[in-house]
Amino acid sequence: MQLRKGQNAQLDQAEVVVRCTWHKRPAIDADLSALLLTPDGKVRGDFEFVFYNQAEPRDDSTHHGGKRSAGTSMEDRITVDLYRLDQEIERIAIVLSLDAPTPATLADLGQADIAVHGASGSALATFTIDDWSSETAAVTVEIYRRDHRWKIRAVGQGYHDGLAGLARAFGVTVDDDTDAPTSEPAAPPVVHGPPPIDWSNPPVPAGYELQEPNMSFRFRKSIPIVPGVRVNVSRSGIGYSAGVKGARITKHANGRVSRTLSVPGTGLSHQTTIRGNRSRPTSTSAPRRRTPTAAATPVSQLPPPLPVPVIPPPHAPAWERELFQILHSRTPTDYVGVAQRHGHIAPNIRILAAALEGLLHFEFADTNPAAAHRARSLLGWVVAQHVNLSADPFVQKYIPERRWPVEIVHGVTAALRISDDVLILAAAELHQGAGDLPAAIWTVEYATPTAHAALSLADLYSSADRHQDVVDLTNGITNEDDATALLLALRGRAFAQLGYNDAARESFKEALRVRSRASEVRHRALLERAQVHLSQNRKAAARKGIEKILAEDPTYPGLHEALAALP
């Protein structure tokens, strides 16, 4: 959208890039900078003046990208993450200032073209300024908040006393350098503020003080099985089974989704199909004729009623009611809006809103690179805060049992709650998908030690050739379910990679001990065990295991390569 002076446009993306380009001129150049302004039109301090000598403000929301040459033109850019912006900031002035000896002006620089893009590269607005006169600095455009939404306005307001005069007008302290000694170059201005932030390990913002980690893998090695969480392994589709005592939802490998309700301790249960499979409709049998029985003490034959959904009372805080209303929203900006309106009131609002938006994008990460990038940015930041959201009163009250499916290992999924570290495991999957294995490992190492989290971490360690770490992680594991059986298979593989073939065979023996485990888990263990047999020249034993897989599933991944390796 081409803007004229005074016009505005809606910004529908949380991250925007403002680029300014001009033609190269001998001995004449310019610089782009940004001023983060409160409602009174002033900066709160020099730390909110972003320019070539201070690339970020205190909240790391804005970044000076630096000038670059583009053919016959020069370009300077400012990137703004509106989600990270401090709640007190209402406006960002994007300033162009002349870098040339007196008496040059912006008229000598010539036409300046402003282009505003989203993080995905899509053009949002453009603005051209070509009517300079004697100005030496100017506010080109401003990004401002209106009715909880962000807009951009074409300004083009010039100043005649350079960047220093413009900065003073907005409250920046500028040293008067007329008295500076001439015997040596003046020192660069001292900017009072914290050093740039390393976002691989960011500090906790004010109000989000670091809590003690909840006994992560870094501190504890025992790995319990979490009630209500089961992993499903399927070749024909992603399956999962999740629930609590008396109620369970299962997505089967054929696509059918069922609900099972039971009365604990009685053996009574009732299963209904919520959604049929993809290949054929679900058949139903005729109802049975009931035989009358003598009156006796009433025994409930019905499943327990589902709990009544909890809703915020009328006197609940505004942030609580607003966040509850958008819990199932498919519009990412809804979460951003709640965080911007109420983040200064409730300490965890920004983190919780970022988590929910991140999980929304995570649903589409497999097929949408932009969604994956946004989800990784949000969930990575949330995880780095080390805030235990499962203990948050809002989560405990309204979404304690809400679940999101996460692929823990290729072909192995689980439906996880916030209390099951869904945020950590989803962030790790996104890091791994982006090729950042160290970040994925660092992330999962802070998860609560559970079988499903251990499975993710063991697979990551194995991918990074950290085989001793796999062994240390899986010490004391026994074959309790599909997850622990697969952990034992990974343990056997790690022993084999370390050269301990006898220990590897013992691990595979335990992994295969229970015949009722998922065939995909058993086949993985058989295939890995066959590699150990081959390395010890036990050809007959290797062939026996590989042919067993061939008989049960001739399309199992890696099977044909194993067959080709047989003598």
| Domain stop point among 146, 173, 200 | 173
Q: How many residues does the chain have?
A: 567
Taking residues 92-103, what's their average pLDDT? Answer: 89
Q: Which amino acid is at 342?
A: H
pLDDT exceeds cutoff 90 at 28: no
DSSP 33-74: EEEEE-TTS--SSGGGEEBTTB---TTS-EEE---EEETTEE
3-class SS at 153?
strand
Residue 225 domain flag: no
**Mean of all residue pLDDT scores within the chain:** 77
Give the model's pLDDT for residue 193. 39
Give the model's pLDDT for residue 174. 62
Query: Residue 106 and residue 32: Cα distance in Å, rounded?
Result: 13
Residue 62 domain flag: yes
Query: Residue 463 and residue 469: Cα distance in Å, rounded?
Result: 11
- Going by pLDDT thresholds of 50, 70 and 90, the confidence category of residue 177 is very low
Least confident among 16-30, 106-120, 178-192, 530-544: 178-192
Query: Residue 251 and residue 278: Cα distance in Å, rounded?
Result: 12
pLDDT exceeds cutoff 80 at 509: yes
Q: Which residues of 307-340 are buried (b: 16+ CB within 10 A; e: fewer)?
A: eeeeebeeeeeebbebbbebeeeeebbbbbbbbb
Q: Please name every residue paired with 74 in a beta bridge, in sequence order, or none if there are none.
A: 22, 69
Give the model's pLDDT for residue 231. 61
Residue 204 domain flag: no
Residue 291 domain flag: no
Residue 118 domain flag: yes
Residue 254 domain flag: no
Query: Residue 352 and residue 146: Cα distance in Å, rounded?
Result: 23
Per residue in 338-390, pLDDT (tens digit) is 888 888 776 688 899 999 999 999 999 888 999 999 999 999 989 988 888 99
In this structure, what CATH number is given to the domain that contains residue 349?
1.25.40.10
pLDDT above 70 covers what percent of the chain?
A: 75
- In Å, how far are 221, 237, 255, 363, 436 from 278, measured between CA atoms? 42, 11, 6, 20, 36
| Domain stop point among 173, 206, 240 | 173
| Domain stop point among 157, 173, 189 | 173
Greater model confidence, 165 or 424: 424
Q: Which amino acid is at 79?
A: T
Query: Residue 223 and residue 217: Cα distance in Å, rounded?
Result: 9
Residue 80 domain flag: yes
Per residue in 203-242, pLDDT (tens digit) is 443 333 333 444 456 444 445 555 556 565 544 333 333 4
Q: Which two tokens stand for residue 394?
A: 């809002």
Q: Are 13 and 124 in contact (CB under 8 A)?
A: yes
Q: Which two tokens stand for residue 364?
A: 């589409």
H or E stretch covering 176: none
Using a 10 angstrom Cβ sphere, with 0-12 exposed, 13-18 middle and 19 or more buried, the burial of residue 504 is buried
Q: Are 117 and 145 in contact (CB under 8 A)?
A: no
In this structure, what CATH number is given to the domain that contains residue 25?
2.60.60.30
Q: Which amino acid is at 88?
A: E
Q: Are 304 and 329 in contact (CB under 8 A)?
A: no
Residue 298 domain flag: no
pLDDT exceeds cutoff 60 at 86: yes
Give the structural domain span for 360.
316-565
Give the model's pLDDT for residue 227. 56
3-class SS at 285?
coil
pLDDT above 90 covers what percent of the chain?
A: 25
Domain total of the chain: 2
Q: Are 515 and 478 in contact (CB under 8 A)?
A: no
Q: Which of 215, 222, 217, 223 is nearest to 483 (CA)?
A: 223
Greater model confidence, 484 or 192: 484
Least confident among 112-116, 167-171, 369-373: 167-171
H or E stretch covering 482: helix 482-498
